[in-house]
Amino acid sequence: MSVVYGRVALIGLGLIASSMFWGIRRGTLAGEVTGYARSAETRETARQIGLCDEVCDTLADAVRDADLVVLCVPVGVMGAVAEQIAPHLKPGAVVSDVGSVKRQVIEAVGPHIPEGVHFIPTHPIAGTEHSGPTSGFAELFDNRWCLIVPPPGADEAEVARMEQFWRALGSMTDRMEPDHHDLVLAVTSHAPHLIAYTMVGVADDLRRVTDSEVIKYSAAGFRDFTRIAASDPTMWRDVFLSNKEATLEVLGRFTEELFALQRAIRQGDGEHLHAYFTRTRAIRRGIIEAGQDTNEPNFGRGKA
Ligand SMILES: NC(=O)c1ccc[n+]([C@@H]2O[C@H](COP(=O)([O-])OP(=O)(O)OC[C@H]3O[C@@H](n4cnc5c(N)ncnc54)[C@H](O)[C@@H]3O)[C@@H](O)[C@H]2O)c1
Ligand SMILES: O=C(O)C(=O)C[C@]1(C(=O)O)C=C[C@@H](O)C=C1
């Protein structure tokens, strides 16, 4: 592979930025990578593990002369960081972000982007429950989707270059409009995370169980919930507050269905339960047959 951007600046050295750095290095996708983290402790850790070619003590030093600046901070602070870097951006540079929410980030960052600088938001649909500079790995984005969300009027050559960059990091790319992105992610990621947080909270409330049996006899379903519920609290607080409308819409529908299932159980309505589970099983099988599950061996070979 070859260099896509001469100089890349990664802002916020956590899971996504560190995975990007190792991925960039694996493919030699940039000439040089600078990094900036808010805390001196994170900067020190980054230096110790060789994360980035240069870890800078200020935002200005990190972004100066960068061809691509990627904001890898929680979505709630994207706007404030964009405001701080704006005066130091080189003309013709590209600013991007990897935030899990797009409409709110575009509205917060967009106004700070100077004339002559491009803004191309993205969202890699890949992660783990771990965070911080030591949690990243080069393979994180392999065979995962990265959604590119260009604002209206974005420079087509720069959008194509961003797609090339993410494909070289191992991802598959698609373009999406911000509101649609936020609704899709509310269904596939944000609401499921809230449900996992709730389920683990419920188990913790039943402490006499948590202390022993819940952990010891943890079945696969609950174990997955505890993994997801161990995700970074700051990141997820910001996701819910930034994607309020779509998440509340999905959760409203979710609670209606949950109440209907609850009533069916109370009334002994096995027919309702069976019909419901038959429908959801067919959805799962349809996804696999269409070759749309990146975790399945027939991924990409289906009839989609
Ligand atoms: N973790 C995931 O699964 C995942 C997946 C895709 C996208 N994202 C998005 O990527 C972004 C980063 O997530 P992550 O998982 O790498 O988080 P992380 O917690 O591992 O890293 C975030 C970093 O940002 C730093 N930071 C926080 N506030 C800052 C500020 N004001 N100025 C500078 N730095 C600041 C933190 O100190 C931390 O080093 C978030 O916007 C998140 O929504 C996360
Ligand atoms: O695998 C996980 O741990 C994740 O939660 C990753 C996950 C997801 O929901 O799929 C979480 C948030 C992101 O914005 C993208 C990906």
The domain limits of the chain are 5-176, 180-268
Q: Is the pLDDT of residue 208 over 70?
A: no
Distance (Å, whole) CA 146 – CA 141: 8
For the CA of 101, the nearest atom of ligand 1: 43
Task: Give CATH for domain 180-268.
Answer: 1.10.3660.10
φ, ψ for residue 8 (rounded to 5)?
-115, 135
Distance (Å, whole) CA 228 – CA 292: 22
CB 202 within 8 A of CB 103: no
The count of other CB atoms within 10 Å of the CB of residue 163 is 20
Q: Considering the entire predicted model, what is its pTM? A: 0.94
- Over range 121-136, report the average pLDDT: 97
Residue in 130, 144, 189 to alter for ligand 2 test, most ligand atoms within 8 A of Cβ: 189
The amino acid present at 138, given as its one-letter code, is A
Q: What is the DSSP string of 210-233?
A: IIIIIHHT--HHHHHHHHHTTS-H
Ligand 1 lined by 55 (C-beta under 6 Å) = no
Q: Is the pLDDT of residue 303 over 60?
A: no
Percent above pLDDT 70 for the chain: 93
State the fold for domain 5-176: Rossmann fold (3.40.50)
Q: For residue 28, how far is its CA from the centre of ligand 1 (angstroms)?
A: 23
Reported as a single tens digit per residue, the pLDDT across 228-282 is 999 999 999 999 999 999 999 999 999 999 999 999 999 999 999 999 999 999 8
pLDDT given for residue 304 in this prediction: 42
Coil, strand or helix: which one is 84?
helix
Distance (Å, whole) CA 216 – CA 209: 10
Ligand 1 lined by 127 (C-beta under 6 Å) = yes
Distance (Å, whole) CA 90 – CA 86: 9
**Which residues are registered as beta bridge partners of 118?**
94
Q: Is the pLDDT of residue 203 over 60?
A: yes
How many alpha carbons fall within 13 Å on the CB side of residue 99? 35
Ligand closest to 232 (CA) is 1
Distance (Å, whole) CA 70 – CA 17: 8
The count of other CB atoms within 10 Å of the CB of residue 271 is 9
Distance (Å, whole) CA 155 – CA 260: 49
Q: Could you tell me the two tokens for 82? A: 């964009």
The dihedral region occupied by 229, where left means phi > 0, alpha psi between -120 and 50, and beta the remainder, is: alpha
Distances (CA, A) of 234 to 71, 181, 184, 193, 295: 16, 21, 22, 13, 28
Reported as a single tens digit per residue, the pLDDT across 51-89 is 999 999 999 999 999 999 999 999 999 999 999 999 999
Ligand 1 lined by 124 (C-beta under 6 Å) = yes
Coil, strand or helix: which one is 208?
helix
